[in-house]
Structure 1
């Protein structure tokens, strides 16, 4: 701003107030832009965090399903082994029964 002594005081004040308004308007625009950028950054990080937690939860659920399936399978296998052993013990007339029962006992351990 050129300070001219011939310019009346009122015009100087108007020019200064317009300049002030322009600065405030520019500052408000920059602030709005900054808030917009912060919101985008926040939303992106929230989505990333939610995605990671959902993936971890899914992996844990899959692991639990695998473990429970393994436990069930082992239980069924052990029952089948026991049942076969029990059937073979009831029929001692079958040749080679002692060999089979000892093999089954070794598997159970």
Structure 2
């Protein structure tokens, strides 16, 4: 386990740029009762280039389904998709833990074009 102030490994800028992190807007969220830990199914619009992608997120402690629709998020869009229960998660939605260890979503502070890439 990595503790604060420690890095798992060094990566080059070239390695970082291999990650395709884009901004998307949550179109809708649904309960995900089949998940092992409490989670939601997210349907995220990444704009005309990438379209809509699905993800699951363990964010039930800090977000209600109603509060998620319309929210901007950042996600890694070039990882291989992964089967999580009955859904195929196509992107990794990014977040950081709060003081209690519960996930808080990462998002731009202002409205930006969907599909914009993080550099």
> What range is the shorter-chain TM-score in?
under 0.3
Q: Could you state the TM-score of these two structures normalised by the residue count of structure 2?
A: 0.17
Higher strand share: 2
* Higher-RCO chain (CA-CA 8 Å, sequence separation at least 6): 2
Q: TM-score, normalised by structure 1?
A: 0.19
Q: Higher helix fraction: Structure 1 or Structure 2?
A: 1
